[in-house]
A = this chain, B = another copy of it.
Amino acid sequence: MPTLDLSKDIQFAHHLADLARDVINPYFRGDFSLAQKSDLSPVTQADQETEKKLRALIEQHFPDDGIRGEEFGFKPSRNGRTWVLDPIDGTKSFVVGRPTFGTLIALCHDSRPVLGIIDQPILKERWVGAHGTPTLFQGQPVKTTACLNMASARCSSTSPLQIPHLWEKLYKKTCMMVWGGDCYSYGLMANGGIDIVIESGMKPYDFCALIPIIQGAGGVMCDWHGQDLTLESEGECLAVSDKALIPEILDFLKS
């Protein structure tokens, strides 16, 4: 891919993330008794209200850009650019009051994610990844940790339900398993804290923002067959801190 000047898009994506913080934060830990309902009322409300406002801002500034959001579906692109939004990734963490959910904002060029933000609104922590530039955490460049084999890897997955036939094996194959991270685990990978994330059941709005962040920090993100993830992908995702891990993990995932 040729070098892209994404500086204006990065600036705009920061505005989107700032706006999401303003909408989401008042809902956090707001009324726990409501959160118990099966429709997860507060999270739905915060999710929908945030996505509406982000979409309006995108439509105002970039009327020809496409938009794909978790709550309000797909607006086709007229110029090859598509914004991909998940206002609250990690709804269960949000519902129980744990500040490790995140707002995900991605920009794709022709189905390829070129810009991604993970924003934790409560902790005011933000990761920004953009094609061809180092990933930034709180404005500072970060790097994944070198990791040559699964035996020395710190591994994470949000839930054993995403990897029901693998989770017990991962305890034997890796040096550490940590559960329940959602997008925050990918941010920690960019910072050097996690070496492997294996998940399934992922949608484009779950993973598009993560790809430029992981790549820009020195890691690799792909599906369980080693293929690139795009706006058309769905399902199984793998992120690693070090490409040296890829052959061993792909073999493991086949087994």
Contact = CB atoms under 8 A, between A and B. Distances in A.
Interface of A: 29, 32-33, 35-36, 38, 92-93, 95-100, 123, 145-147, 152, 154, 156, 158-161, 164, 167-168, 171, 175-181, 184-185, 188, 191-195
Nearest to A155: B96
Copies of this chain present: 2
A159 B175 contact: no
Contacts of A100: 98, 100
B193 A154 contact: no
Nearest to A146: B33
B192 A33 contact: yes
Nearest to A187: B97
Nearest to A176: B92
9 contacts: A92-B176, A95-B154, A96-B154, A96-B188, A97-B194, A99-B99, A179-B179, A179-B180, A180-B181
Contact of A159 (B35, B177, B184): B177
A172 to B, nearest CB: 11
Nearest to A153: B36
A167 B178 contact: no
Contacts of A193: 29, 32, 35, 95-98
Contact of A179 (B35, B146, B158, B175): B158
B33 A184 contact: no
Contacts of A175: 36, 38
B160 A194 contact: no
A178 B93 contact: yes
Given A160-B167, A171-B161, A193-B97, A178 B32 contact: no
A236 B247 CA distance: 39
